[in-house]
Amino acid sequence: AQSVTQPDIHITVSEGASLELRCNYSYGATPYLFWYVQSPGQGLQLLLKYFSGDTLVQGIKGFEAEFKRSQSSFNLRKPSVHWSDAAEYFCAVVGYSSASKIIFGSGTRLSIRP
């Protein structure tokens, strides 16, 4: 069965520091992977997605993610975080029969230290 694991429940980084949020997936074929962000009191917004091609994917708000098949990972990175990046981040993979049924990880809450 397909699954997504986000091992870090809560991360705190200082403003201006670099960020990496971890995501591991389990899927029998080439996955379709997503990162979503949920700001407090808001719905989810797509940051970036990987379908195929270049394994380094650029997204909105200065985020990027790298697909590593050998490690079954799709980690999210940002070189310098801003206070406005404080939010919850969800990694997701398209499910077994696909057709847009996305399976979400449990989320990582990001706090920013002034």
Minimum Å distance from CB 103 to other proteins?
8
Binding part of the chain for other proteins, among 12-20, 22-30, 63-71, 98-106 by CB under 8 A, reads 98-106
Q: What binding mask, one character per residue, do residues 35-74 give for other proteins by CB under 8 A, x or -? A: ------xxxxxx--x-x-----------------------
List the one residue from 61, 68, 82, 101 that touches other proteins (CB under 8 A). Answer: 101
Contact 85, 109 (CB under 8 A): no
What is the spatial distance between Cα 97 and Cα 54, in angstroms, rounded to a whole number? 24
In terms of Cβ atoms closer than 10 Å to its own Cβ (0-12, 13-18, 19+), residue 12 is exposed
What is the spatial distance between Cα 90 and Cα 60, in angstroms, rounded to a whole number? 15
Total residues contacting other proteins (rule CB under 8 A)?
23
